[in-house]
Chains A and B, each alone.
Chain A
């Protein structure tokens, strides 16, 4: 495990080194602070996605569910003037309900989660537009503190929170019976079932976790923008999957690691920031990001095969 983290950390280091030598402004505390404060929502979503992927599922609805949660937050804060804490609770609940729907429908009705969550992607986005009347709800300063960097630490509360969730997620995955069963089910569901374990609660739980993470990320996203944007986070599912995959999560299930996913997010974000600073055009940025994702996965699979042979 540590070896894997070291590998990802050195890739991240290498990327930083390249940008540091090619642009003047990259190697500065401000750059790193801005990367850190930019990632919390993606980190949370990618953690949820990692759990889902480990159990051989996939959640394509994360971007829409995030948008719906932030829309719900904005709606209750602005239209109903609810206290912040209640509005946040409702936003989290929204994410949880979407996750529950994804999980229960795909697991109980045995429909591939790809399809169920593809449907949810549309449903949640449609609901977002209904809630916001397709217009950005300006929330104002009440929630800005979540994403405002601490003047001394340079990090926002959201980033600290995301780091905490990373640690917690890693702990759950590697040290609890829940995590062990998740990995076992992803490795060989049939064998786990025949070992007398009811796999359904675990499968549903990963979607619940993912939904809750989307809800949380929705709150953070809204705080970043000070508003709820009905088109927020579209395409986020792909970034989240990319982050998981760069971190070595297998789409075939059974393999995944929260800290590695965190590194995956950092690699993507650093790449984006660095390329932007270099003045690379958007099309080229996309192209390079794609190449990095594929390179990461190919090298990971080669490494896997190599360790298999030995």
Chain B
């Protein structure tokens, strides 16, 4: 079935930084196969891909591409061999247009000037071919949503000569529909004999799209075989190898009460859209989903007072109705806390220590006297918090930069637990973190709910919401499409409601 000679042969690759990151990893990528790689954060996935793409070099071991020795020293070397890599972090130039980004390394020119007509024509052609005709090539990239930017980025890789395509968590910012679009492309390029390395944390996705699967754990390749031979729970067990994830999934326990915590009334996100109204009770967990561009992040921002354009009223704890907050400081004072979508950019302060990150919201009220920080109390609270959050670290004076993504996320949530905020707005709380940390964060959320806190969590991952929420609000095109309750919901129904008819054509233009 598979061609006998592998496209890329990786033999006993090792790499050390401060610690050993890869330990004699051996695996093959074949022509026309989608090869999944999964592993906890720090398992060595990104390092392995960086070695293949020539971003960094291995300490030992060798690689062969198409039977030839392959040892890329730079990114350019690997590109010349047809190895394309799309990073998890977006690397588009946000001030330029989609067309300029698409052909950035190869802009058509006439007499030394950029040939705009030619550029536009080529870009339109490429976007059409990839089924992205909804994106206008003249759009400034920065004004597109994260999902669309990711698709453009993958389109750039596909537009070039490519024998091996490396995708590092391509779906983490994609909506279900966009993921399906991506999968169509992948099946297309598989049939053209191109090899694809597909890194993901999402097991169902890997099961669905990959032909073979490699599991990395602590720098070692512990499984590399056809995807069909292994089931979901086995994968999870192999990744973690700890008791934390091998525990059977706990049944959902609801902590919802009937005391109202927050009602949102007539909140308008975008002009000409139906206003949004909903409520959440104490101890309740409400999920927020919808396609990319449906307004999930915008809704959370509006409730938290960081959107300048939204209008509407809020009512907290049955108090008086008030206008939406103007500024996060007002929201925080009223007992709200927010976990932003982009952890590194706005969730944590990477260059500050764990302690300062944890106490940033509570410093003035809990850990200071007459403006001076009471360091002893602050230190004690930080230690208590990292135990409660099970953050893996050496000490609380360590910079947050040195922690893994999952542990960073625990810190970002932890600051609100110290503040004792009553309403937590969590935007993609488990995006880009490994399975074990994901479970730990779900437990934290459940724990918070059990103490009477109300949680609104937005996620692309519907299964995640179905496992963790009492109700799910589906947004489409900046409006509420439908609100589902646990007793009567079904996966199919919820997915369908993401595509309420009127909005299907619109949704891809909303970011513009």
Count contacts on B: residues with CB < 8 A to the other chain.
32
Which of A177, A181, A191, A198 meets B347, CB within 8 Å? Answer: A191
Which one of B32-40, B103-111, B131-139, B363-371 is at the interface?
A: B363-371
What are the interface flags for B309-351 relative to A under an 8 Å C-beta threshold, 1 for contact and 0 otherwise?
0000000000000000001110111001110100001111111
Count contacts on A: residues with CB < 8 A to the other chain.
23
Q: How far is the CA of A109 from the CA of B375 in the complex (A)?
A: 36
Which one of A65-73, A115-123, A182-190, A222-230 is at the interface?
A: A182-190
Task: Looking at the assembled complex, report how far the CB atom of A72 sits from the nearest CB atom of chain B, in whole angstroms.
Answer: 31
B360 CB–A CB distance under 8 Å: yes
A169 CB–B CB distance under 8 Å: no
Task: Looking at the assembled complex, report how far the CB atom of B354 sits from the nearest CB atom of chain A, in whole angstroms.
Answer: 13
What are the interface flags for A167-180 relative to B under an 8 Å C-beta threshold, 1 for contact and 0 otherwise?
00000000111101
Which of A176, A188, A196 meets B361, CB within 8 Å? Answer: A196
Query: CB-CB < 8 A to A177: which residues of B?
Result: 363-364, 368, 371-373
Task: Looking at the assembled complex, report how far the CB atom of A51 sits from the nearest CB atom of chain B, in whole angstroms.
Answer: 15
Q: In the complex the two chains form, is B372's CB within 8 Å of A194's CB? A: no
Given A184-B356, A192-B360, check contact A198 B18 (CB 8 Å): no
Task: Looking at the assembled complex, report how far the CB atom of A142 sits from the nearest CB atom of chain B, in whole angstroms.
Answer: 36
Query: CB-CB < 8 A to A193: which residues of B?
Result: 306, 328, 346
Which of B304, B352, B371, B373 meets A187, CB within 8 Å? Answer: B352
Query: CB-CB < 8 A to A192: which residues of B?
Result: 349, 360
If over half of B's interface residues share one DSSP class (helix, strand or loop), that class is named, otherwise mixed; here it is mixed
B471 CB–A CB distance under 8 Å: no
Q: How far is the CA of A34 from the CA of B356 in the complex (A)?
A: 41
Q: In the complex the two chains form, is A175's CB within 8 Å of B351's CB? A: no
A254 CB–B CB distance under 8 Å: yes
Q: How far is the CA of A196 from the CA of B348 in the complex (A)?
A: 13
Q: In the complex the two chains form, is A190's CB within 8 Å of B346's CB? A: yes
Who on chain A is nearest to B331 by CB?
A196
Q: How far is the CA of A192 from the CA of B363 in the complex (A)?
A: 12
Query: CB-CB < 8 A to B31: which residues of A?
Result: none
Q: How far is the CA of A24 from the CA of B331 in the complex (A)?
A: 66
B201 CB–A CB distance under 8 Å: no
Pairs A–B under 8 Å by Cβ, sample size 13? A175-B375, A176-B372, A177-B373, A188-B348, A188-B351, A190-B345, A191-B347, A191-B348, A192-B349, A194-B346, A195-B360, A196-B328, A196-B331
Q: Which residues of A come within 8 Å of B, CB atoms?
A: 175-178, 180-181, 183-184, 187-188, 190-198, 254-255, 309-310
4 extra A-B contacts, CB within 8 A, seeds A188-B349, A197-B360: A176-B373, A191-B346, A191-B360, A195-B360
